[in-house]
Amino acid sequence: MLDALSFVQYVGEVASAFDSVGGSPVAGATWCFLLQWSIVSYGINAYICVVILTPVVKKTMHTDNYCVIMGGGVGSRFWPYSREAKPKQFLDIFATGRTLLQMTYDRFSKVIPKENFVVVTNAIYRDLVLEQLPELTPGQILLEPMRRNTAPCIGWATYHIYAKNPNANVLVTPADHLILQEDAFDEAISRSLDYVKAHPKLVTLGVRPSRPETGYGYIQFTDCEDEHFVKVKTFTEKPNIEMAKVFYESGEFLWNSGMFAWNVQTILDAFHQYLPSLTSILDEVKGAYATDEEQSRVSQVFSECPNISIDYAVLEKADNVMVLPVDFGWADLGTWGSLYELKREEPRANVALHTKALFYEAEGNIVSLDGDPEKQLVVVQGINDCIVAQSKGVLLICKRDEEQRIKEFMGEASVQFDKKFD
């Protein structure tokens, strides 16, 4: 007999399957009820039928929907936790048993079949990706021989997916984000996929800001609305605090989440129009994409690709860019400050991660140590608004409002100590 918990979990999967393939919610609910009745009435035989039918249902799901996970960054602003050998996307930041990369995969696997995932990462992280995502095959991992920013990363993934499915609708996401409201996120993702399937638009997800933030890029939008999507007016890189306050108070700006959706043909056309310096290089590899020759062929020409972001290269130039305003508890875990804002329980509160801590005459600090949290204690007295982080032989103490300098600190340590602490 199927135990109650397992059945509830399965019913949820079945209901999601019906909903995502456009099936009637009523039909889905009815089917689930009949399954429940059958299992209760007939026991294991019904369960066997369910198990047999599940792959059939899931096989019909999302065959044209793909997800590209960008997971090649070094995460230097999260040093010393994030290192060259194991950047933050491969770390279990919250001690949940799942790394940021794994959490990203889990999140999108609700709407994307496992065979339609593509991870673009640096060649040195191949084994880490395969270890953490055993659901994927080596052919789903595109290995950059060097870092060339997001435009070449997305461009390569686009050619790869187009060779497999010229009708593909593609979600693009960084590997190091956190989503707190999963239901709202699922709705936004499904809505975006439906929209780009029907419209030749480039969609970005814009997060409604909750505070003036200098660590994120901003998207200004217009009043031109189309099915919950609004036309993008401008993209702005990370502002200073004064400008961030203006953006926040105006109500005309959204945080740039770095998550995108489009049909593969739409983005391919945009690349050819706005970044021919990239497509001229990637076109040289035509015929090899989605074959055993792809990795070696692209590796030979990748150094020639322009080092530029997708925002600068395409989105700021294109006239068919739309933004979906969203609010699903998003956080870009790019900095210690973002982690502090996420974990603090009240203004000026201290935050302790992976360690026991005592604070005296101290406010607004974040303290984090690697190792066994049950066997270590940090005592902080008389300092405010600081980052105290220790990992793999490096102790960092700096003001939270100076965290943008962490990349500078890491660079100098790399030079001074011959990359020993990279």
pLDDT tens track for 178-223: 898 999 999 999 999 999 999 999 999 999 998 888 778 999 998 8
Averaged over 390-416, what is the pLDDT? 92
pLDDT tens-digit readout, 342-371? 888 888 899 999 899 999 999 999 999 988
Indicate the pTM of the whole model: 0.81
User: Per the structure block, which two tokens stand in for 54?
Assistant: 């599940």
Question: What is the Cα–Cα distance from 422 to 415, expressed in whole angstroms?
Answer: 10
CB 215 within 8 A of CB 340: no
Averaged over 247-271, what is the pLDDT? 95
Q: What percentage of the chain carries pLDDT values higher than 70?
A: 86
Sign of CA dihedral 206, 207, 211, 215: negative
User: Per the structure block, which two tokens stand in for 246?
Assistant: 């203006």
**Bridge partners, residue 56, by sequence:** none
SS3 (DSSP) at 22: coil
Question: What is the Cα–Cα distance from 2 to 35, expressed in whole angstroms?
Answer: 11
Number of residues in the chain: 422
Of all helices (H) and strands (E), which one includes residue 104?
helix 100-108
* Fold topology of 65-334: Spore Coat Polysaccharide Biosynthesis Protein SpsA; Chain A (3.90.550)
CB 89 within 8 A of CB 176: yes
**Domain locations in the chain as residue ranges:** 4-59, 65-334, 343-416
Q: What is the CA angle 199-200-201, rounded to 5? A: 90
